Structure 1
């Protein structure tokens, strides 16, 4: 199987969540992360938008959301784009 680039938007539980700690936890949970950017949402809340390279085998892209949603401080993680590399 090949590799795919996945763009994921991660919404923190509140504006008080330490984004640097959250970024570190995301990198530990998903080692293929290439880039993480902060995206202002409003009222002080910022989403994290990350790009990762993962295997396109056995529904691995589907499992990413579930893995990231288990991290403390994450309200919701959703895949917004998947492209071939």
Structure 2
């Protein structure tokens, strides 16, 4: 079985959310078989930034939904969407 890389766009609840802290909270919330490999802050609009995270997990059915659910439960996260997914 291979690995899947998934890039998610995470929007914070507001301008006052610390994106570095949010990144660490996301990494802690992930299932044990998933790893946060990279992250990047990108501007959205009017001073709001989105956190783009690359998460790698074993290729299995339901992996993307499991990751999305875990991220969406992190305090400070308004929304999560998958931007890109592919086999590594």
**Category of TM-score, reference length = shorter chain:** over 0.9
SS in 2 for 1:32: strand
Runs of 4+ more than 2 Å apart? none
How well do the aligned residues superpose, as a CA RMSD in angstroms? Answer: 1.1
C-alpha distance in 2 between matches for 1:45 and 1:23:
16
Tell me, which stretches of 5 or more residues in structure 2 are unaligned?
none
Return the TM-score normalized by structure 1. Answer: 0.92
Between the two proteins, the alignment pairs up a number of residues equal to 85
1:14 aligns with 2:17: no
Question: Which moves more between the two structures, 68-77 or 23-32?
Answer: 23-32
Is there any run of 5+ residues in structure 1 with no aligned partner, and where?
none
- Matched ranges for 1:3-42 at <5 A: 3-30=3-30, 31-42=34-45
Q: Which of residues 54, 59, 81 in structure 2 aligns to 1:56?
A: 59
CA–CA distance in structure 2, aligned partners of residues 68 and 52 of structure 1: 11
